[in-house]
């Protein structure tokens, strides 16, 4: 995906515009990636909450509490 080109100083405005276009594209891609990561993190936390053992107020898993004899 590497692109190389030579630059004539008369074409500096065009080159600057191309660079800004690449920068805008990368900025948008990064924002979308960050949003998707946030969504994945939320889904992961929700999954962990559904599948983790229930705990008492003191943090002891309920499955470790036995009924009195």
Q: Cβ distance 55 to 62 under 8 Å?
A: yes
pTM: 0.56
Q: Could you report the per-residue pLDDT of 5-53, keeping only the tens digit for each?
A: 676 777 888 889 999 999 999 999 999 999 999 999 999 989 888 877 7
pLDDT at 48: 84
pLDDT at 67: 61
Burial annotation 12-45 (CB, 10 A radius, 16+ → b, else e): eeeeeeeeeeeeeeeeeeeeeeeeeeeeeeeeee
pLDDT at 28: 98
């Amino acid at each position: 995906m590497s692109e190389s080109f030579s630059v004539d100083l008369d074409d500096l405005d065009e080159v600057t515009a191309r660079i800004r276009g690449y920068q805008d594209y990368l900025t948008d891609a990064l924002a979308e990636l960050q949003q998707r990561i946030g969504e994945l993190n939320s889904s992961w936390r929700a999954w962990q909450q559904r599948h983790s053992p229930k705990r008492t107020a003191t943090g002891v898993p309920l499955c470790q509490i036995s009924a009195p004899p």
